[in-house]
Structure 1
Amino acid sequence: MFRNAQMPSTGWFAAVGATALLTVLMTPPSAHASVVTCGQTLTTSVVLQADLLNCPGDGLVVGANDLTIDLNGHSVDGVGLGVGIRTGGFARTTLTNSAVTAAQVQEFDHGVQLAPGTSGTVVEKLTLRSNEFTGVDVNGATHSRIRNNVIDRQSHRGVLVTGGAHDNVIADNALTGNQGGGLLMQNSRANRLEGNRITDSGNAGLVLEGSSGNTLLTNTVGGSGDGSFILQLGSNDNLVQGNSTGRSADAALIVSDSTGNRILSNTFRDSGDSGISLQSAHGTTVVGNDVSANPGGIDLSRSDGNTIRSNTANDSKGDGISLELSSNNLVELNQVNRSGSRGIYVVGEATAATGNRLIGNTVNDNKGGGLSVSKAVHLVQGNTARGNGGWGISADPGNTDGGANLASGNGQAAQCSGVVCAP
């Protein structure tokens, strides 16, 4: 039966030698048929062929530049210790999943960790689930992309960005049910957070602390146990544009102790407090936002030099726009209608040089009055107030009537107090 089979001769074997034959048999598998083990440090690209289960420490460790690790629909599973996939500070690593079935990294301290010195890494199409501290930890990494991942049910945070991380993009991820919050960025700059969906966080949805020059675009945050978006503790010169919110336990957006932020064309509704709250926030541009159907629309407290323009703050349970102990703000061309209390309310004294300017706003059908300005010295000019339950416009003595105010159909027959209103 085996008459024609050609077997290696004893001479051939002797020529090759047992050592050389062993070398041939032990050649590392190619990237298309890779067998790896828990804790292995990888120096070549791999495609997983089986799950890694109950890893006692790290799952996989990147040990060289320019690697691709394809989980190929398999899981990297731990016992609550170590890191699922640790980059180790190398460059241009791609962590991906080419299979239709989900590839899970679960039950570690951190699902994926981009250590200091890491650059150009891509983390995509993975499911980071049930890890202790973070699903993705971006610690000092730069120029990396975290995209199209499911980051679900971490005991603490979905994504943590720290250590001066910069020029990273975190986009199109689904962050769901993370108990400590969705995404926290600390002391990092020039990152782009875009198109992420952050839901049912146990704490705040998306938080920046001491992080400046970042861009937040078209993110959706809902069901947060605290505020939806929070910029605080010196988070300056950030752009927040085109984002939206659903339910939250606190305000949709809180900006505190920060300067120079731009809040543009967002839709912030159905929050537990105001749509936008500025607290000791200065030089902020708040333009073109819809903050309707919140307990309050836009609130300023001890916040100076801000521009509040062309926003819609309808159907608030309380005041539509309120300024407390805040000076030198421009409140212009806003629509504030059907509030449960006052449309626009300003309280707190100012000098003539630091008064607030209330120009060209529309305040209609508010139950407690249209526009109310107590103390002095503020400018009231070109506002329209119709159908409010109290005064159309009420200004205490000492404020400045800039003229061109209009009022009709308000609860007080005189329509306006402290300024002259045409019908």
Structure 2
Amino acid sequence: MIRLSGTASPRWLAAVGAAALVGVAVPAQSAHATVLTCGQTVTTSVVLTADLLNCPGDGIVVGAGAITIDLNGRTVDGIGLGTGIRNNGFAGVTVTNGAATAARVEQFDYGVRLNAGTSGNVVEKLTVHNNEFSGIELNSAHLNNTVRNNLVDRQSHSGIAITGGTGGNLIADNTLTNNQGLGAVVRNSPDNRLERNRITGSGGSALALENADRGTLLANTAGDSGDAAITLRLGSDNNLLQGNSSVRSADAGLVVADSTGNRLLSNNLHNSGDSGIVLQAAHGNTVTGNDVSRNTGGIELSSANNNLIHTNIASDTTGDGISLGLSRNNDVRENQASRNGSKGIHAVGDAPAGTGNQLIRNTTTANQGDGVYVSKSVHTLQGNIARDNKGWGVYAEPGNTDGGGNRASGNGQAAQCQGVVCIP
């Protein structure tokens, strides 16, 4: 097959003849109907008119910038090798589906892959399924690529992956279902945005950030994850997670491990197999306005220091509403921790002088254990409300600081409070 690139003289075109150009991708200002062969390098805008089936390697290779590849409801199909649609560095390319029927990219190592140097690409409206490593991957891609409105289903590993230092890209409004590994993962890559994606049935986490800084996860939904719904780990710092939701994850709703400076704002995380939010060796994070009710636990800190835990709902769990284990200098204030199966707020562990946790103006009611329980010393309790708990309203071992203004009534222990003075 003849493929034309660049500009050709009218004399040469006349010599070739119109018959030789049938099914060939020739340069044009607009896309034209095209029959491609497996592995063909495309240098102009095209609209597919036939399927590519059983490709032994790559399906389509991008060979020029500023072109559109319209799959037009066709299928690009492999045998488990290569990449369905591969771009090795061209800018301004759109891969789309202009037809009402699904356009499928399936049975390759990678469904769609944007490699080093790609910028300003759009991948949209595709059905990408049954590929090996990733359905859609941005690998060392550059800036301003957009992946939107795709169905990414049943990859053997990840649905969508951003790897290799890829930064400044948008992953939005995709549906990711039944991928056997992670739903979407950002690995070793900063400054990416994942917004309004719907992720269900992932074998691992629905959303995972690994050594990924300054990202934004906004209004994504996750269901039935085989691990924690959302994970930040391995030094994923200074990310914003806002307005995300999860249900029925096998592990926690949201885990932050070995990561600092993240903002977890107004997320709704329910029916998890572990706590709604877990901070593990995670320092200097802000956890504000989240609803983590109806989990195994509410908010759980383990060896996590200098965090702000503010105005969250940590109620109706089967365990503790808020627990702090071996954690120091956390500011826990104005949270609701009620109707939990154990304690409302539970702090365990000594701290050196001046590094205790601050428990301020929290409300704990109708918990099956104590409202607030603080073992060991140097923590501060001030202005908390504890009513109708089965155990103590507030229990603080000697050595803690009574900041005053704690209130308690209707609790199971007649004295209401121990170690601090409570008024009704």
Q: What interval of TM-score do these two structures reach, taking the shorter chain for normalisation?
A: over 0.9
Once the two structures are superposed, what CA deviation does each residue of 1:116-138 show, in whole Å capped at 9, x if it has no partner? Answer: 11111100000001001110011
Q: Secondary structure at the match of 2:95?
A: strand
Q: Does 1:26 align with 2:20?
A: yes
SS in 1 for 2:50: coil
Relative to the length of structure 1, the TM-score reads 0.95
Describe the superposition over 1:156-193 as per-residue Cα deviations: whole angstroms up to 9, x where unpaired: 11011101000000000000000012011111000000
Alignment of 1:132 with 2:132, yes or no, is: yes
Measure the CA separation in 2 of the matches of 1:297 and 1:420: 27
Tell me what 2:115 maps to. 115
The letter of the residue matching 2:159 is G
1:257-276 CA deviation, whole Å, 9 max, x = no partner? 00000000000001110000
- Counterpart of 1:146 in structure 2 is 147
SS at match of 2:111: strand
Cα shift at 1:352: 3.0
Distance 2:244 2:307 in 1: 20
> What is the match of residue 75 of structure 2?
75
Structure-to-structure mapping, 1:41-80, within 5 angstroms: 41-80=41-80
Question: What SS does structure 2 have at the residue aligned with 1:25?
Answer: helix
Shift, 1:204, TM fit: 1.3
Deviation at residue 19 of structure 1 after TM alignment: 8.9
State the 1:18 CA deviation. 11
1:317-370 deviations in Å (ceiling 9; x for gaps): 000000000000000000000000000000111133111000000000000110
Q: Could you tell me how far apart the structure 1 residues matched to 2:146 and 2:101 are?
A: 22
Secondary structure (helix, strand or coil) at the match of 2:16 reads helix
Q: Is the partner of 1:211 in helix, strand or coil? A: coil
Structure 2 residues not aligned, in runs of 5+: 1-9
For residues 239-285 of structure 1, the C-alpha deviation after alignment (integer angstroms, 9 at most, x for no partner) is 00000001111000000000000000000001110000000000000
Separation in 1, partners of 2:268, 2:282 = 20
Judged with a 3 Å threshold, the aligned counterparts in structure 2 of structure 1 residues 407 and 19 are, in CA distance, closer, same or farther, namely closer
Q: CA deviation at 1:23?
A: 3.4
Q: TM-score, normalised by structure 2?
A: 0.94
2:411 alignment counterpart: 410
Q: 2 CA distance for matches of 1:397 and 1:54?
A: 73
Q: For structure 1, which runs of at least 5 residues remain unmatched after alignment?
A: 1-15
CA distance in 2, matches of 1:189, 1:334: 32
How far, CA to CA, are the matches of 2:123 and 2:185 in structure 1?
18
1:93 shift after superposition:
0.6
Q: 1:70 to 1:364 in 2, by over 3 A?
A: same
1:200 matched to 2:201: yes
Matched length: 408
- Over 3 Å counting, the alpha-carbon distance change for 1:262 and 1:199 in structure 2 is same
Structure 1 residues 58 and 296: alpha-carbon distance in aligned structure 2, compared to 1, 3 A threshold: same
Please show how residues 273-422 of structure 1 align to structure 2 within 5 Å.
Answer: 273-422=274-423
Shift of 1:26: 2.7
Amino acid at match of 2:144: H
SS in 1 for 2:17: helix
Please tell me the residue identity of whatever aligns with 1:22.
Answer: V
Displacement, 1:417? 0.2
How far off its partner does 1:17 sit? 10
Aligned equivalent of 2:5: none
In structure 2, what is the Cα distance between the partners aligned to 1:363 and 1:211? 36
Which residue of the partner structure matches residue 98 of structure 1? 98
Q: Distance in 2 between matches of 1:33 and 1:386?
A: 72
Query: Could you tell me how far 1:143 is from its partner in structure 2?
Result: 1.3
- What secondary structure, in the 3-state scheme, does the structure 2 residue paired with 1:181 have? coil
In structure 1, distance between residues paired with 2:137 and 2:11: 49
Letter in 2 for 1:281: A
Residue matched to 2:211: 210
Deviations 1:296-317 (A, max 9, x none): 0000000000000000011010
2:6 matched residue in structure 1:
none
Show the counterpart of 2:229. Answer: 228
Tell me the residue number matched to 2:4: none
Query: Which residue of 2 is the match for residue 5 of structure 1?
Result: none
Helix, strand or coil at the partner of 2:156: coil
What is the SS of the residue equivalent to 1:345? strand
The CA RMSD measured in Å over matched residues stands at 1.3
The residue matched to 2:74 in structure 1 has which SS? coil
Q: Secondary structure at the match of 2:183?
A: strand
Q: Give the secondary structure class of the aligned counterpart of 1:335.
A: coil
Amino acid at match of 1:50: A
Deviation at 1:22, TM superposition (A): 3.0
Aligned residue identity for 1:212: D
1:402-421 deviation per Cα after TM superposition (whole angstroms, max 9, x unaligned): 00000000000000000000
Letter in 2 for 1:61: V
Q: For 2:155 and 2:286, how far apart are their aligned partners in 1?
A: 35
Determine the C-alpha separation between the residues in 2 that align with 1:107 and 1:165. 25
Report which stretch shifted further, 137-146 or 392-401: 137-146
